[in-house]
Structure 1
């Protein structure tokens, strides 16, 4: 393949990258895409200058220095964009790479290294390999914060580009020892540029899809899993030690009526976060609706599940919310049901709900365990009575009742 064709493909790879990044930046708020687009655009300009210069249209010293300076600045902006895209944020220190590229351009111009093709190409590709290596390190480091498959594809593309840039550098410095002829390594580098642009677009798309799934599975007010996500997370088959815990905020309607829904929302969010923090990340947890929450635990005894529920109750008791001159101290009631091999998940959750009503009937701010099968009918009758009583609670309790 002749040099003119290689330069044309080289320029096209950057033009495609610039167009992709500009388009995705227009449709997305991901940081770094603007730097990536500008960097690719500058690299396309540098490649164009090199092609025009090779045809003798521009003076040798002008196009060699200009293409070198614009090219290293383009790679600096490209690397800056990849770093910002990887960590999803900007920092003032991001300008250091561009500053280094400008200083390198001044040094190369002052030393007239741009006048020799081999020296210029070796310095340019060594700088490219260094910048791509920095991008690889950052993307690999941030993988544990953003585990998306496209990140691995982007990392592989950048690593390959770094490797081929290194081969070009070696071939320029030691032509007789170069493992691959520079023009072939350069051609593979062009393919890597296309691949980088592809995986940048895929990475942004995967992040958008992940965000949509997160929004679909998260309660908008409290930030914890919603009913849909909680139910979908339950196992298809129950086993010994599986437990449901149903939790309800006591007198929550009265809090809304007396202090307003904005204050009620603050209380609801605070209680939800207290439950989540106490339950820990390994417990299936969600808001079923209103002021009601549910937990599903594996490998529990009745005492262990009741102790878990009581820890949550105590944690909520430690909360306090100011509303004007008054302080709201919320409490919760909890019902616990353990699987005994005689029901499905829906029935087990119903039993936990019945135990919750027993806790409400028993005075609130307490934990109740669903009774054994011999007491099912009594439990069902009690739950009905408790539900009727709950539905006729007074709308405006005395201040002391809010903590009762």
Structure 2
């Protein structure tokens, strides 16, 4: 493939990437990193264009070489900055340090014309690109453990391949007779990697948008905890020994709404929901069923351990203190606990937990009741129905 065609493809890869990044940023709002990525790809497109032009541009060969080198190096620097921001999902000044390397190279090129030496300029430029790509690939791969999206794997793989190819270009210029891959072939494959990086950046943005929609669909908008749909979707298809349901209801919630208004009622709901969420085991299913009622599903429980979890939640809510119109409000909850037994369906166990909850309310509220197949008989922890009273 002739040089003109290679340069055209090289320039096209950056133009396509820049257009896609600008468009997606325009459509998605202020997605961190996309704008900087678009700028970086634009600079590299201009640099590639300058490298393929002749004297008809009315610019000397030395000037074209300088600007092609400078814009290309800084384009790779901006690409690294953009990938940092995209990976971390935030725009931060601390992510701009990769620009130090291309800035130093640009300043050195303004002081002395070393860049006019083709045998020196190409290894330095591609060596700089290798370092910046390696840093970007490391950040993208490292953040996979924080955000497990499959597009990250494709993006990091594309960047690491590009890193290896840039390194091969350097080796090819320094050791032309011993290079494992001629620079022109490595350079051509590098063009494909540029397209791949742009593609997987767009896929990553799309996966994030889909994940956000799923999260919104499964999240209660007021309290920020899982909603009814998510809770029931999280339940196993078949219950077994040790499975337990806990139904929780805020005591006298209507009274708060009547006395202080629904906005203060929402404050109570939010605080109670967050308190419960912080108190439940991380492996359980938890959600707001509606109104002031919440549900909890636990596995591997005994009557004592399930009761203890509910009691811990009740005590945690009792520690919440709110002030409305100069009055201190301490919310409380009642809870009903039921464990699966042979022959029971999911609905049966939930109904038992619901019965235990209503018994807790009938017994004065701010307490936990445990249902058993023998019946609601006693408040002693050693008997079939266990109760916990506040204070």
Flag whether TM exceeds 0.5 (same fold): yes
Indicate the SS of the match to 1:190. helix
Q: Is the 2:244–2:339 Cα contact (8 Å) retained in structure 1?
A: yes
Give structure 1 regions of 4+ aligned residues with deviation exceeding 4 angstroms.
54-58
Secondary structure, in 3 states, of the residue corresponding to 1:304? helix
CA contact (8 A) 1:53 1:64 kept: no
Name the SS of the counterpart of 1:285 in structure 2: strand
Preserved contact between residue 309 and residue 367 of structure 1 (Cα < 8 Å): yes
Quote the Cα distance in structure 2 between the aligned partners of 1:39 and 1:97. Answer: 12
Q: Following the alignment from structure 2 to structure 1, what is the Cα–Cα distance between the partners of residues 54 and 127?
A: 22
Write the distance in 1 (CA, Å) between the matches of 2:247 and 2:124: 67
> Matched residues in 1 for 2:158 and 2:58: separation?
34
Which stretches in structure 1 are left out of the alignment for 5+ residues? 380-402
Q: Distance in 2 between matches of 1:63 and 1:178?
A: 29
**How far does the alpha carbon of each residue in 1:8-48 deviate from its partner, in whole angstroms, 9 at most, with x for none?**
10000000100110111111131110111111111010000
Do the aligned partners of residues 13 and 90 (structure 1) sit closer, same or farther apart at CA in structure 2, a change above 3 Å counting?
same
RMSD: 1.8
Provide the rounded CA distance (Å) in 2 between the counterparts of 1:108 and 1:344: 76
Q: Name the counterpart of 2:21.
A: 21
1:183 aligns with 2:189: no
SS in 1 for 2:294: strand
Note the 1:103-114 alignment, pairs <5 A.
103-114=104-115
Which residues of 2 match residues 237-316 of structure 1 at below 5 A?
237-316=238-317
TM-score w.r.t. the length of structure 1 is 0.91
Q: Distance in 2 between matches of 1:54 and 1:153?
A: 41
Structure 1 equivalent of residue 7 of structure 2: 7
- Which has the larger share of helix? 1
Deviations 1:155-195 (A, max 9, x none): 00000001000000111111122111000000000000000
8 Å CA contact 2:101, 2:128 repeated in 1 = no
Distance 2:175 2:253 in 1: 78
Q: Aligned partners of 1:358, 1:96: CA distance in 2, in Å?
A: 63
Distance 1:335 1:56, change over 3 A: closer
Q: Evaluate the alpha carbon distance shift between residue 128 and residue 54 of structure 1 in structure 2; reply closer, same or farther with a 3 A threshold.
A: farther
Number of residues of Structure 1 aligned to a counterpart in Structure 2: 379
Query: Taking structure 1 as reference, are residues 108 and 99 closer, same or farther at Cα in structure 2, changes over 3 Å only?
Result: same
Structure 2 segments unaligned to the other structure (5+ residues): 379-389
CA contact (8 A) 1:52 1:58 kept: no
